[in-house]
Chains A and B, each alone.
Chain A
Amino acid sequence: MAAEILRLDGLSKSFFGVEVLHAVSFALHRGEILGLVGENGSGKSTTMNILGGIHQADAGSITLDGRPYRPTGPRDAQEAGLAFIHQELNLFENLSIEENIFISGFPRRLGRLPLIDRGRIGQRTRELLDMVDVRYPPATPVGKLSQGERQLVEIAKALSQDARIILLDEPTTSLTRRETEKLFTIMERLRAQGIALIYISHILGDVLRVCDTIQVLRDGHLVGGGPRDEMPIDTLISLMVGRKIENLFPPRDTEPTTVPALEVEGITQSGVVRDVSFTLHEGEVLGVAGLMGAGRSELARILFGLDPFEAGRIAVGDTTLTEVSPEACMRHGMAFLTEDRRGEGLMMEATIADNTALPSLRAYARSLTGWIARSRLEDDVAEVSRRVQINTTDYRGMLVKNLSGGNQQKVVIGKWLLRQPKVFILDEPTRGIDVGAKFEVYKIVNQLVAEGTAVLFISSEMEELIGMCDRILVMSHGEITGIHERHEFDSERILETAMLKNLADVA
């Protein structure tokens, strides 16, 4: 094995007397990709933050190249050759690629004069972009790049700082499959050059695909680890959740009905979706698959009245909507879980109870004065919160921002369940939440359809769609390119349908 570059030895860290990291030790070698997995709150972020100098460990030591490494700020980490690539990118969209890469240290002309040497920047940027396979002129504004390309620009930026260790935290969350594959190719190329990488992800398939060794954290403890070949997926999962999960998806006992709950006919909005028609039945889970930018989320927003459409018809039950606005859709029994939980789904600075009550307030108020019947509301909020199994009972005191991602998502689901929706549109309901919470979300979905609710399930995870849905719609370039019945589910074929239009374009 190649030379050891980084060693963590007995790292511990507590916040307010609660230990979040307990004696964690592992080593990283030159030319190695190390996968770090664990549920939310297991200590991955804390480990990252200690390496990045944002937090300091209470106990234990870090050795970098045989020398002790105690960073006290991000600057120390950068100078030591560590680079971080986060889920939320730190690029300035209005600046060009080269400006973003050199933002923290522009090469100057004539030594220290405050004149930027544009020529040198351009040349160096082209070299770096070549290394990550991005074919854009260095002066292109980052705003024009796709999410995946931006991720690669981040890596180029890390390389420009002569990083020897690159840490990637959930880098593929907003990437398409193809972009993800490209990222992996680049990672493998960097590994061949002797750079060490730490890769953090929820998607275990990806971890197994790209990592050489895998370390598993649970509740701040390192509970297992080893070469990839010794860590099959079921081992990983049972290590992560501390118990064996027999099946990734809970079994469903009910069958969909044939009673239409949502009928969509010819929905068109130029540049977004074209002639989209489908019928969703009561008690059915209808999946929507497609690549990034296929128009899935855009369709959901149109159906819930958040974005306009030029032509088409939407009917809930047997009523055609004359006015399509969130209010009108809600009146007809629709609910919508947005893909942007933090930005659009929740009031992070408010309590669980306030979030849960928001869409239902009118139902608990006198029509003339708007006076809220508070105790009735609070009782119902508590009941629905228990039903979605939020892991606290302080619904009126706990702020949503202090909850884990999975519990936050349960609050969003809870706030819609309080309205007892007939049609529930779920846009990426399990994005960024851990395996255990995912399982609980799936169980709630199954319960809902058992009660007759119709669910439109949008997801980028193929296994999830195949595991959960009765039928899967596939979208590409704003159009429906196929519908797959449960008995004919096959991820390869679905992927093909999703790329149909692309292939047609090429041909």
Chain B
Amino acid sequence: MLRTAGASGNAATRTAGGVRTRGWLERLILSEYLVFYLTTAYFLAVWPIVPEIATASSLSNMLTDMLPLLVVAIGQTFVLIVAGIDLSVTSIIAFASVVGASVMTADGGYLGGSPLAVPAGILTFLLIGGLIGWFNGFCCTRLGMPPIIVTLTGLMFLSGTAIWYTTGHSETSSIAGLPKAFVLIGQGSAYGVPNALWVALAVGISAHLLLGHTVFGRWLYAIGINRKAAEISGVPVGTAILWTFVISGVCAAIASILFTGRLETGTPVLGQRILLDIIAAVVIGGTSLAGGKGKIVWTVGGVLFLVVIDTSLKLLGMSLFVVFAVKGGVILFAAIIDAMRQRIIMRG
């Protein structure tokens, strides 16, 4: 595993001068699993106020709530590691949702009622994610456009297109009548474990192995830390970055399958409001916007943190403004902790 300044959770930091031990507070702040400690602390703090949060069904709800978000966030982690950003993910979720649904729906879908509907539908989701990701990557690497511009305009274009597409395929604002077999991916369970969890586990473990144990993963960190040095060391920088966007697009498409399945509806506004949650979850986990740093486990922590906060606020029945304010405050707090840890590291 590639070790970087923030990533080394060592109690002692090595400096040219020698080794110095740190106090427990500094150790805690420097820990790469800080976000898990924060989540636990928050959970224990709200438990007395909303005891419902610790019930088995509430915990299982939290788990299933976090899965689609986690899958998109995993894709985003790849892009952030190479110092890119993919803002188009939520529009991929929405666009894939309506196009995929239009293939499968019993209400006049292209393959409605056919036994091929479900496999073809799933393939449609994945292809849309992959192709949009490839296009984003192509613009960023081969045409040299800044990722923020490419994916932001992609976000606008696809969000609009998703709504336009729906009006051509449905009388209402969304597409229902999805096959049972498809809906089960988002809702059902196998061997007592929600299907969505199987999917998320598969995505998470593959992503973890890809980043930590393969040449491709090492290349991504190298590009994020110093793109020029990576290039001179023979890393195919452009191709590697392009692939991060494809991965992000496919992950968004998988998240879209989970969302669409749980709502039994293909809707063009799906996921529109979670863009900030996705980026925030990855960054709170510890992945740097500047690139070169990031782990799947951290992203899991970041998503868990946001979902626990969200759930507690939902259970409290607070108004949306309070939810926004509290969430914003908590994210800011996490950012302050991150800044503190950078300072401690700099001080060496």
The answer to whether A and B touch directly, with their CB atoms under 8 angstroms apart, is yes
Q: Write out, one digit per residue, whether chain A residues 9-20 have a CB within 8 A of any chain B CB (1) or not (0).
A: 000000111101
Cβ B232 vs Cβ A326 within 8 A: yes
Cβ B218 vs Cβ A361 within 8 A: yes
CA distance A244 to B36 in the complex (A): 57
Cβ B14 vs Cβ A394 within 8 A: yes
A347 within 8 A of B: yes
A55 to chain B, nearest CB (A): 13
Cβ A347 vs Cβ B225 within 8 A: yes
Q: Write out, one digit per residue, whether chain B residues 203-229 have a CB within 8 A of any chain A CB (1) or not (0).
A: 000000000011110110110011011
Contacting residues of chain A (223-257) with chain B, CB-CB under 8 angstroms = none
Cβ B233 vs Cβ A350 within 8 A: no
List chain A residues, Cβ under 8 A from B5: 349, 399
B348 to chain A, nearest CB (A): 7
CA distance A213 to B215 in the complex (A): 55
Question: Which residue of A18, A365, A371, A415 contacts B233 across the interface (Cβ within 8 Å)?
Answer: A415
B8 within 8 A of A: yes
Q: Write out, one digit per residue, whether chain B residues 7-40 have a CB within 8 A of any chain A CB (1) or not (0).
A: 0101000111110100000000000000000000
Cβ B214 vs Cβ A370 within 8 A: yes
List chain A residues, Cβ under 8 A from B16: 41, 402-404
B235 within 8 A of A: yes
List chain B residues, Cβ under 8 A from A361: 215, 218-219
CA distance A304 to B232 in the complex (A): 8
CA distance A370 to B232 in the complex (A): 20
B7 to chain A, nearest CB (A): 9
B236 within 8 A of A: yes
Cβ B17 vs Cβ A16 within 8 A: yes
A73 within 8 A of B: no
Cβ A358 vs Cβ B230 within 8 A: yes
A169 within 8 A of B: no
List chain A residues, Cβ under 8 A from B219: 361
Cβ A350 vs Cβ B4 within 8 A: yes
B3 within 8 A of A: yes
Question: Which residue of B3, B10, B221, B231 contacts A326 across the interface (Cβ within 8 Å)?
Answer: B231
Question: Which residue of B15, B233, B348 contacts A358 across the interface (Cβ within 8 Å)?
Answer: B233
Cβ A347 vs Cβ B222 within 8 A: yes
Cβ A359 vs Cβ B3 within 8 A: no
CA distance A362 to B216 in the complex (A): 9
B2 within 8 A of A: yes
Cβ B17 vs Cβ A359 within 8 A: no
CA distance A394 to B17 in the complex (A): 14
Cβ B3 vs Cβ A396 within 8 A: yes
A327 within 8 A of B: yes
A27 within 8 A of B: no
Partner-contacting stretch, out of A82-90, A308-316, A338-346: A338-346
Which of B10, B20, B216, B234 has the most CB atoms of chain A within a 10 A radius of its CB?
A: B234
CA distance A358 to B10 in the complex (A): 23
Cβ A365 vs Cβ B214 within 8 A: yes
Known: A16-B17, A371-B213, A403-B16. A397 touches B3 (CB 8 A): yes
Cβ A336 vs Cβ B232 within 8 A: yes
List chain A residues, Cβ under 8 A from B14: 394, 397-399, 402
A419 to chain B, nearest CB (A): 9
For B, the interface residue count at a CB cutoff of 8 angstroms equals 33
Chain B residue at minimum C-beta to C-beta distance from A416: B233
CA distance A17 to B17 in the complex (A): 8
Q: Write out, one digit per residue, whether chain A residues 124-162 have a CB within 8 A of any chain B CB (1) or not (0).
A: 000000000000000000000000000000000000000
A306 within 8 A of B: yes
B213 to chain A, nearest CB (A): 6
List chain A residues, Cβ under 8 A from B221: 350, 354
Which of A338, A350, A369 has the most CB atoms of chain B within a 10 A radius of its CB?
A: A350
B292 within 8 A of A: yes
A348 within 8 A of B: yes
Cβ B18 vs Cβ A344 within 8 A: no
CA distance A326 to B222 in the complex (A): 16
Known: A18-B17, A397-B8, A399-B5. A362 touches B229 (CB 8 A): no
Q: Write out, one digit per residue, whether chain B residues 28-69 have a CB within 8 A of any chain A CB (1) or not (0).
A: 000000000000000000000000000000000000000000
A422 to chain B, nearest CB (A): 15
A214 within 8 A of B: no
Q: Write out, one digit per residue, whether chain A residues 358-387 have a CB within 8 A of any chain B CB (1) or not (0).
A: 110110010001111010000000000000
Cβ A350 vs Cβ B2 within 8 A: yes
Question: Which residue of B216, B228, B234, B292 contacts A327 across the interface (Cβ within 8 Å)?
Answer: B234
Chain B residue at minimum C-beta to C-beta distance from A16: B20
A330 within 8 A of B: yes
A166 within 8 A of B: no
Binding site for A on B (CB under 8 A): 2-5, 8, 10, 14-18, 20, 213-216, 218-219, 221-222, 225-226, 228-236, 292, 348
Q: 13 A-B residue contacts at CB 8 Å?
A: A17-B18, A17-B20, A18-B17, A326-B232, A347-B229, A347-B230, A350-B222, A350-B225, A358-B230, A371-B213, A374-B213, A399-B4, A415-B233
